Structure 1
Amino acid sequence: MLSFVRRFNISLFKKIITLFLVVLAPIFILGIYIRNWGADTVREELSKSSTAQIEFYLNQLEDEIERLKILQYTCLNDEHLNRLAVQYSIMSPYDIVSNMRQLQARLMTIVYSSSYVENVSAHIFSIDKTVSSNRGVDEIDPKVYERIKAAAGLKGAQIIRYEDGLYLTTACPSDNSGQNSNYVIEVKLNPDVFEEDLKQFNIYPDSGSFLIDLTNSNEIAMASTGKSLQPHDILGDFAISGKSGTELGKIDNYRYYSVYAKSDYLSLLLLRYLPENLVFTPMQHFTSWIWIFILVSITVIVVFTLFMHRFINKPIKNLVAVFRQVEKGNLQISLNPEDVRSTEFAYLYTRFNKMVESLNMLIDQAYKQKILTQRAELKQLQAQIKPHFLYNSFFIINTMAQMGDENLVEFTNHLGEYYRYLTRNSTDIIPLCEEVEHARTYTSIQTMRFSKNLEVDFSPCPEEFEQYPVPRLIIQPLIENAFEHAVDKRMKDRIISISFEICQDRLHIIVEDNGKSLTDETLAELQNRLAVQSDDVEVTALLNINRRLQLQYDETSGVLLKRSSLGGLRAELVLGVRRR
């Protein structure tokens, strides 16, 4: 973990939030698992409950039909029915009427025994009569033969669906066609009762139930529906397997949940469909609670993140930011302990302020001490310049006066400007234009002194740097060094160049000469003395300027020494960002 953090440089705030999310992740996973488990449980329990309801109904219906079948078979042995079928031709009218009434009374007992029975008829083929529990005695309807033929060969309850009616037919004696039967007991089932039974399953709006005849191309035997759906639309979505089952489906925009149970004895399929959104309402409530849990968790995460950001991450970022400012050298920064409510961070802020204050005090002491040292070195440099240059100037004035040189007035004016600049001690930091003007005055004096075979190229100061603050006497000593090593030791073709270059917002002041006395060993020694900056090294003009520039500006400022393209020394002053 530590190697991962170090590798990807993850902040403390991100690590805390990541750890918090890692802790919450199992809770989220557990919540999702509970939701899915609850949904599966609800679906399974609903499937079991719905299937059990319709299976229970079909079992009751099977028992009721079985009881009616027994009553049918019992009625086949009725003595009145047998007399009418066999002795009708020799019976008196009174006996005929009496037996028919007795038979009708027997048939009515079957009707009254079950709410599923609408009518019971005894079809006596030998006398071409039908005795009905509801209508009395009629001629045999030819359609009876069709219904008897349809029942031939069927197994189980032998329920016949004929012209939207359901019939139970029992013949005696029985054959495949019913043509050789003496009489038939036929029970017509009451469709209203079946519809009422199916309605009890329609507890939701837009739900419905079907009784489907499996012996006749899955046609509807009975239906009670609140939405115009056909059973083949629903059955087309899944295959019937086993005696019962459940399935989710969709027709157009209507999503439904279907339950079915099959009775082999009745050759009927009971199909029930329900709207999915209503069926799974409890699960939807459960899902709503899961979403509430997720939203509450997200709210907790957001609140925790904001809390951590305000009370931990923000104070730490402020600390890191001010430490980076201190690394860049900004010691005028501080933190307000009242901005944080944590006593620990308030203590850290207070101690940081104390640390910066102590650093400022120590640096101020060291800075002042170094400034005093630099000023002493500047005074030493001025003291070195004054006698040496003063003596030479007096000799030049004497020579020019004796020769009646017309440049004497100009020379003395330059000399006055030069010494007035040197003796002005009001400040050590001046605009660059003044330092350049002083160097130009010095160059003019030296040009009058070495007037023969001397070429001086003095470029103008860049306008954007004219008011740039610089230490006094940083250019003139370099020009003096060029005159001393290049002009004095070369008799002809003497060249001195003073130029300015701007590179990456830094100003480079370049002084070059074409002297021949500079060896590689001497250049290397000078470069080494500038790089070492040891306090026990004798302070020369170059070292003095280099120290003052680094003290005034940043560490990349100072004096750079190279061999010039002219052949002599190239002294380059680099002025960087000024320290505050």
Structure 2
Amino acid sequence: MIIKKICKICRISILNKVIFAFLLVMTPLYVLSLMMNKEGTKSVRDEISKSVTASIHFYLNAFETEISRTRVLQQELLVNKDLIKLSALGNQMTPYEKSQAILRILDQMNMIQRTGVYIDSINIYIPLIKRTLTTGLPLVPLSEEDFVVLFQSSAASPSPVIQWKKGVLSTVVNPSPLLPGHKLPQYLISVNYSFSNVEQSLLQFMNYDQGGALIVHPDWHIAKLKNMDPQNLPLMIQSVEKGGDLEHVTSWDNKFIFVSQKSNILGAVMAVFVPEQEVFGPLVMRRNWFWMLCGLSACIIIFFSFGIYRMVHSPLIVLVRAFRRVEKGELDVSIDDSRKDEFHYLFMQFNAMVRQLKFTLREVYEQRILAQRAKLKLLQSQINPHFLYNSFFILNEMVRKHNDEQLDMFTGQLGKYFQYITRNAMDHVTLETEVEHVRAYTSIQGIRFSKRVQVHFGEMPDSFKAILVPRMILQPIVENAFQHSLDQKVKNGHLYIQFVDKGEEVEIIVEDNGDVIDDDQLILLQSQVLSYNDEMESTGIFNVHRRLQLMFGDASGIELTKSQYGGLAVKIIIVPGGERSV
């Protein structure tokens, strides 16, 4: 039932209906298989995420613990009595006292280095004696530049670990607050971690043929790659910076997935990249079987559709094409077919139907022509005789006043007028002839209205002149303007007749500056024109509208609007390509 409604709305052919129904049945199987594949992939992702995240969590805890423990030892070293004395009174101490204090400080520094996993060296910068105590090298000259940079970098960074020189991380502590009048502390203690030591510890995550482990900080990063192009490192860092959430798994370059976790103590994110091919290898075969199933189903649908086309759709197309030819008016259609199934019966009945339809249409067509010609004659004859009464009244006045010159012109125009309207044998005339008749009519009306009304004819395009139109379509419109709009004008009455070429349409616009028509009256008149039927009185603009539609079709007719000059505008629309056979 649902398929029928959808096909009825979309007007789908029978062949498409069958294919659609087949796909509708197969789709749940495809969706189920696809969901199973996705669920398996998701399950593997989750397991990898949990496993690698646990390892990352353990590693970060150990790394953070190491940093925190070292910071505690640095704080203990910070209050070493020998260090305080050496940094405050080093110049006043004897060489022996100074050397003994340095040895004791170095012993504590070496102890801290031996207990550290990642520590490469420990430095104590003492500006007073202009020396730096370093594990492995007891005493080296003080680098004031290193001292200032280390102090400023550690003070500006919220992280306990800063990058110091190339491939070195440091944790720095100094006496705080500064002594009055001093811009720099008395000494600094820095514990340096080598990148290579940290990279070696990252090897525990290299359990695959390819992969990588990274620690990414806004100011520095440490990376260990295995069988990967180093040029991919910037993209890997960018991926980590975009998605550094706990247990977050995402694809990267269609080759790897990564799991990441953020360290709040270090202000860095650690991520491990795992090769996707090695992780999802067992699922590749299932996915391939799924696509093979899709391909096999597509082949079945194509084969089934071809069979349906040969058995059902092909003869249906022949029948539909034959109906379309009949719909266009071709009645010499016959279907020849040698098949012996149900379609043979349909084809024979179609041929019989066309023969009967051809015979019936011939009779109905002849009757329709006769009826429409009679109707047109009736509509043409229903012209308002009010003009005739006024003309004889004006003629009587001219004879009585012996106005011979104007009488001659008036009778000539009146003769042309009655000669035109009494040609009953002519159903249609050219538009040029119709316009000339209206010129004669307006000349007669000009005598009646004296100088109160002026008529303005626009230039008619040459392409309009030969168009055949029903007789008396323009004069009733002009007559309506004189009687209902301009009749009360004492002076300065104007009537405009214009011709507009719209390409496929011909427009004749008759408008005046007579009485202003309100919107309600205009809507009422237009609705009466559009709702015209045979039972209404066929006079005036209704008469013209009906005759235009009878001849040119429903796209032609009358349209009423407000005139730009203040009165009513009547637009006569003619579509020459829409003539009906009458």
Q: What band does the TM-score fall into relative to the shorter chain?
A: 0.3 to 0.5
| Pair member with larger Rg | 1
TM-score w.r.t. length of structure 1: 0.45
